Chain A
Amino acid sequence: MVNVYEAQAANKRKSALVVVVFFLFVALAVYVLSQAFAVYSGYRPGGLGMVGLALIVSGLLSIGSYYFSDKIVLSISQARPANRKKDFTFYTVAENLAIATGLPKPKLYVIEDSAPNAFATGRDPKRAVICATTGLLDKLTRTELEGVIGHELSHVKNYDIRLQGLVAVMVGMVALLGDWFLRMRWGGRRDDNDSGGLGAVIMLLGIIFAILSPIIAQLIQLAISRRREYLADAGSVAITRQPEGLISALEKISADREPLEVANKATAHLFIVNPFKERTGRAVERLAGLFNTHPPVSERIKILKEMA
C-alpha cells in the first residue's frame, strides 16, 4: 500500500535524478570532445566554438518541432477537433479533470482509428492538446477514460513535452559533435608533438566518447521518457483517486493487438501506451526494455495496484 502523495514524490525525485544524470553526462561528453577538438587543432581557441555551433544547429533542428509540434503531430495523425455533442464523454471528462487540476481546458482532438490510444502535446499548459482515437473512446468506460485523460493531463502539468524537447536538443548536440569529430581529416595535421602522451590519451578518449556518447545519451533520454510515464500514472491517480480506472484502461489498451496506423517512430513516445506492440521474449526482454519509450504495461499495472 503506497500513498498517492508518496508515490508522486518518489517519482519526482527519481525523475529529477535521471534528468540530472543526463545533463551531467552531456556536460562530460561535451567537455571531453571539446578538449579533443582542442588537441586536434593544436590548442588554438575553437574547441568551445564547435560546441556552440553544435548546440545552435541542434537547437535549430528542434526549434521547429518544439514550436509547431502540436500542429505537425495533429496533421500527421489526421486528427479532427472533438465536439461536445459527438464526443460527449471525452469532452466532459477532459473538462472536469482540467477543473480538478486547475489547468485551462486543453484543446481536444479525435483520430479516426480503431486502435485504442491517446497522447498529449503542446509546449505549455495554455497550448496543450490532448488527442484520443475513436477506438479508445468506444472501448473505455467513463471511469477508465478518466484514468487515461488524467495521465495525459499530468504530462501537461509536468511540462513533459518541454522537457523532452530540451533533452532532444542535447542528444542532437552530442550526436553532432561525435559525428564531426569522427569526420575530421585524420592524419592531415600533425602538430601535436608538443602535447605528447597526454594529447594522445585525450584523442583516444575523444574517439571513444564520439562513438559511445550519442548512444548513451539516447539511452538516458529513453530512461527519462519511461520515468515520466510512471510519474504521469501517479499523477493520474492523484487527480481521479481511482487507480482501478487506469489499470483496466491499460489492460484493455495493451490487450488490443491492433497497431495504430497513424503512429510512427517520431510520435511513439507521446502515446499513453507504446503504439508499437511490445514483443516479450524473456532473454532479450530486459535489454530490449532499454530501448523502449514506455515501461512495460505489466510493471505499470503492478505499481498502480499498490496504490489501490
Chain B
Amino acid sequence: MWYLALGIAVLLVLWAISVYNFFVSSKARIKASVQEIGNQLKRQAELIPNLVESTKGYLKHEKGIFEDLTSARRAISAAVQSGNVQKMADAGAKLAAVIPSITVAVEDNPELKGSDVVTKLMDELRDTSDKVMYARRLVIDLTADYNVRRVSVPSSFIAGLFKFDELPGLITPQEGEHTKVSETEMKSPKVKL
C-alpha cells in the first residue's frame, strides 16, 4: 500500500514539474518569437528601400512611395529599439501600407510587369511580408497554447499555484467598427469591367 501511494505521489510530482516547465518554456518562447517579429520587421525595413532603389529607374514617376518608405523605416528602427511589441506592430503596419501602392504602380504599368527586376521586386515583397506574417503567427499560436492550458483542467491548478498570468499575445482592438458587419458589407460585391 505504501509503495502504491509513494508511486502515485512521485508521478504527481513529475506531472506537476512537466506542466510547470511547459508554462515557463512557453513564456520564454513567446518572448523569443516577439523578438523574431522585430527581427523580421528590421530586415523588411532594410530590404525594401534597397529593392526599390534598384528599381528606381523603372518607378521614377512614383516619388511619393520613396518618401513613405523612408518615414516607415524610421518608425520601425525606433520601435525595434524600444522593444515594445505594439509599437513594432504599428510600425510594421505603416510599412505594409506602402506595399500596395508599389504593387499598384507595377500593375498599372505593363512595361514594368514584364521586366525581370520588377518581377524580382514583387517576389521579394511577397516573401518579406509573408515572413512578418508568419513571425506574428508564431506569437499568436504560442500564446494561444499557453492561455488554453492555463485555464483548462488539470493544468490550471499548476497555473493557479504558481500564478502564471494570461498573456495578451498580439494586441488588436477588441471593439470598434471592424468587429461589426454592416448591412452593405453583407451584400455580395458587384464587379464592373
Q: A residues engaging B (CB < 8 A)?
A: 88-89, 92, 95-97, 99-102, 142, 238-239, 241
**B131 engages A88 (CB within 8 Å):** no
User: B127 in the interface, Cβ–Cβ < 8 Å?
Assistant: yes
Among all A-B residue pairs, the 6 with the closest Cβ atoms: A100-B134, A92-B127, A99-B134, A96-B134, A100-B137, A96-B130
CB contacts under 8 Å to A, within B126-183, are 126-127, 130-131, 134-135, 137-138, 141-142
Contacts of B141 in A (CB 8 A): 100, 238
Shortest beta-carbon distance from B55 to chain A in Å: 17
Could you say which of A88, A97, A99, A238 has the most chain B C-beta atoms within 10 Å of its C-beta? A99
Interface 0/1 of B95-127, CB less than 8 Å to A: 000000000000000000000000000010011
26 contacts between A and B (CB under 8 A): A88-B123, A88-B127, A89-B123, A92-B127, A92-B131, A95-B131, A96-B127, A96-B130, A96-B131, A96-B134, A99-B36, A99-B40, A99-B134, A99-B135, A100-B134, A100-B135, A100-B137, A100-B138, A100-B141, A101-B138, A102-B29, A102-B33, A102-B142, A142-B126, A238-B141, A241-B137
Q: What chain B residues lie within 8 Å of A99 (beta carbons)?
A: 36, 40, 131, 134-135, 138
Residues of B within 8 A of A142 (CB): 126
Min Cβ gap B169→A in Å is 15
Is the pair A102, B123 in contact by a Cβ cutoff of 8 Å? no
Contacts of A102 in B (CB 8 A): 29, 33, 138, 142
Give CA–CA (A95, B43) in the complex, Å. 14
Given contacts A88-B123, A102-B142, A142-B126, contact A97 B134 (CB under 8 A): yes
Report B41 CB to chain A, min CB distance, Å: 13
- Cα-based distance from A238 to B140 in the complex (angstroms): 12
Smallest beta-carbon distance B112→chain A, Å:
19
Bound CA span A157–B174, Å:
33
Q: How far is the CB of B54 from chain A (nearest CB, A)?
A: 15
Chain B's nearest CB lies how many Å from the CB of A82? 15
Task: Report the minimum CB–CB distance from B80 to chain A (whole Å).
Answer: 17
CA distance A100 to B123 in the complex (A): 19
- The CA of A142 and the CA of B141, in the complex, are separated in Å by 23
Question: B142 — which chain A residues lie within 8 A by C-beta?
Answer: 102
Q: Which residue of B lies closest to A88 (CB)?
A: B123
**B72-103 toward A: CB 8 Å interface, digit per residue (1/0)?**
00000000000000000000000000000000
Q: How far is the CB of B51 from chain A (nearest CB, A)?
A: 14
Contact residues in A for B137 (Cβ distance below 8 Å): 100, 239, 241
- Using CB atoms, name the residue of chain B closest to A95: B131
Docked CA distance A102–B139 (Å): 10
**Highest count of chain A CB atoms <10 Å: which of B134, B141, B142:** B134
A142 vs B127: C-alpha distance in the bound complex, in angstroms? 10
Alpha-carbon distance A239/B133, docked complex (angstroms): 11
Cα distance A241–B137 when bound, in Å? 10
Residues of A within 8 A of B123 (CB): 88-89
A70–chain B nearest beta-carbon distance, Å: 25
Contacts of A238 in B (CB 8 A): 141
Shortest Cβ distance from residue B181 to the other chain A in the assembled complex, whole angstroms: 19
B127 contacts which chain A residues (CB < 8 A)? Answer: 88, 92, 96
CB distance from A21 to the nearest CB of B (A): 24
Q: Mark B36-63, 1 if CB is under 8 A from A, else 0.
A: 1000100000000000000000000000
Q: How close is A3's CB to chain B, nearest CB, in angstroms?
A: 12
A134 to B3 Cα, complex, angstroms: 61
Give the residues in chain B near A97, CB-CB below 8 Å: 134
Query: A9 → chain B, closest Cβ, in Å?
Result: 11
Closest Cβ neighbor of B140 among chain A residues: A100
**In whole angstroms, how far apart are the Cα atoms of A238 and B142 in the complex?**
12
A162 to B130, CA, bound (A): 30
Please, how many angstroms separate the alpha-carbon atoms of A101 and B137 in the complex?
Answer: 9
Q: Tell me, rounded to whole Å, the shortest Cβ–Cβ distance linking A177 to chain B.
A: 32
Q: Nearest CB to that of A102 among chain B residues? A: B138
- Residues of B close to A96: CB separation below 8 A: 127, 130-131, 134
**Roughly how many angstroms separate A102 CA and B143 CA in the complex, as a whole number?**
13
A22 → B minimal CB distance (Å): 25
Tell me the bound Cα distance from A59 to B131 in angstroms.
42
Alpha-carbon separation in the docked complex, A281 to B102 (Å): 53
Which of chain A's residues have a CB closer than 8 A to the CB of B33? 102
Task: Give A264 to B28 CA distance when docked, in angstroms.
Answer: 43
